[in-house]
Amino acid sequence: MYRFYLMVLLALSGAALPALAQQDYPLANAAECTPRQGAPNFSAKAKRNGAELKVGYLGGSITAQPGWRVFSLELLQKRFPLAHFSEINAAIGGTGSDLGVFRLKQDVLDKQPDLLFVEFAVNDGGAAPEQITRCMEGIVRQTWRILPKCDICFVYTVTESLVAPLLEGKFPRAASVMERVADRYGIPTIHMAMEVAALAKAGKLLWSAPLPKTDAERAALGDKVVFAPDSVHPYPETGHKLYLAAIERSGVLIGAASRHGSAHELPAPIAPDNYERAKLIPLEANMLSAGFQKLAPTDNGIAMNFASYTGGLYRSNKPGEAISFKFKGTYAAIYDIIGPDCGQVIVTLDGQAPRVVPRFDGFCTYHRLATLVIGADLPDTIHTVKIEIRPDQVDKVAILARNGAKMDNPARFNDTAFYPGSILVNGDVVK
């Protein structure tokens, strides 16, 4: 699933798919927990009678499930009975650190967490190491610049397609990159899937199978554990319980390493071009031409489902309607919605040759969050942007057919809509 979303996002942005060889980055030696400096501020506060603590969960669909996230909060409440815990659920399926770093402030930091779990090792599985470093370091540096006493813990999950290095005692590539960031900042890490890998290596794990429902099915399974229905998203009853056990064991080590609470200091970054300045900036009416309509969450189903993520939502289906703005920075994108009624846009950056980008793909039988990349690795100067709706549609029948899908109702697809919500920028929008 992580691979599918990577390919979709790259296709929509017009970017090339990176090489995914694991051996092109030095893989870290695997350990279930590396406590480093622990979580000292969180640990001290959690021991106070009546303390109110918020735990943030920034991640993808594995974190969004009613699994390790829910179980870990219950575990913390049990371990620290004098305090009260609440969660900040900032998990969005199919997204990696490249979106997480931009939505971090809105979705997590504005809610003042005391502890932040970050889970992106699976969805970052196909990203370049340099990109992972920029994003994960940006998450850390943003957090400690705004909330210097918020403790952070990186947690890693796994899929069948990513497990091979773990079977040989090494972390997969994305987790290895994240370990380097954790080392620089003294952040504790938990690989929740070490026991999963051990069971798989011993032939005692079924990556993808239905859960047994009868005594006969359970007896036939023997000592094997069914991990997930799809080799990716663990069953709460099994795979997520293995993840919880890893958190429980690791919590003891992290607690022991949590010596003295204080404000976290920021050392020199690994990547000077990291995304510490990443922001999600809602679009303003003066950035859009007159044909765009702002959608109210109270009277539009799409806005009701997505506007809270994108910081607002606009719609137009009129060719020639456009977004125009300036920014100073190294990266910019539009956080938008794609779906059956969407069409194509023309992206012009700094007056260069226009680029046509579809807002439709083979999975657009429904609406979902997406990212329209405008430019990356840009010089840190002022850039001008224009995004205009094209009049012609893509061949939606052919695009859906590539995925084995069909139009259930052609009228739902017969449009050229564009649903922008906000600007993702590493830098600042210039008025």
For 10-37, what is each residue's pLDDT tens digit?
A: 333 333 333 344 457 899 999 999 999 9
For 415, the 3-state DSSP assignment is coil
For 61-78, what is each residue's pLDDT tens digit?
A: 999 999 999 999 999 999
For 293-351, what is each residue's pLDDT tens digit?
A: 999 987 678 999 999 999 999 999 999 999 999 999 999 999 999 999 999 999 999 99
**What is the pLDDT, as a whole number, of residue 23?**
52
- Higher pLDDT pick, 173 / 4: 173
**What is the pLDDT, as a whole number, of residue 13?**
36
Domains of the chain: residue spans and CATH: 2-257 (3.40.50.1110), 278-430 (2.60.120.260)
Tokens standing for residue 77? 């409440």
Residue 363 CB burial class (10 angstroms; 0-12, 13-18, ≥19): middle
Question: Rounded to the nearest 5 degrees, what angle is found at the Cα of 186, between the Cα atoms of 183 and 192?
Answer: 75
Residue 142 CB burial class (10 angstroms; 0-12, 13-18, ≥19): buried
**What is the pLDDT, as a whole number, of residue 261?**
85
Summary mean pLDDT of the chain: 93
Indicate if the pLDDT at residue 1 is higher than 50.
no
For 353-394, what is each residue's pLDDT tens digit?
A: 999 999 999 999 999 999 999 999 999 999 999 999 999 999
Residue 214 CB burial class (10 angstroms; 0-12, 13-18, ≥19): exposed
Tell me the average pLDDT across 403-419: 94
For 203-244, what is each residue's pLDDT tens digit?
A: 999 999 999 999 999 999 999 999 999 999 999 999 999 999
**What is the pLDDT, as a whole number, of residue 9?**
38
For 106-117, what is each residue's pLDDT tens digit?
A: 999 999 999 999
From 73, 74, 89, 68, select the one nearest 246 (Cα to Cα): 68
**What is the pLDDT, as a whole number, of residue 274?**
97
pTM of the model: 0.91
CA 82 to CA 61: how far, in whole Å?
31
**What is the pLDDT, as a whole number, of residue 300?**
73
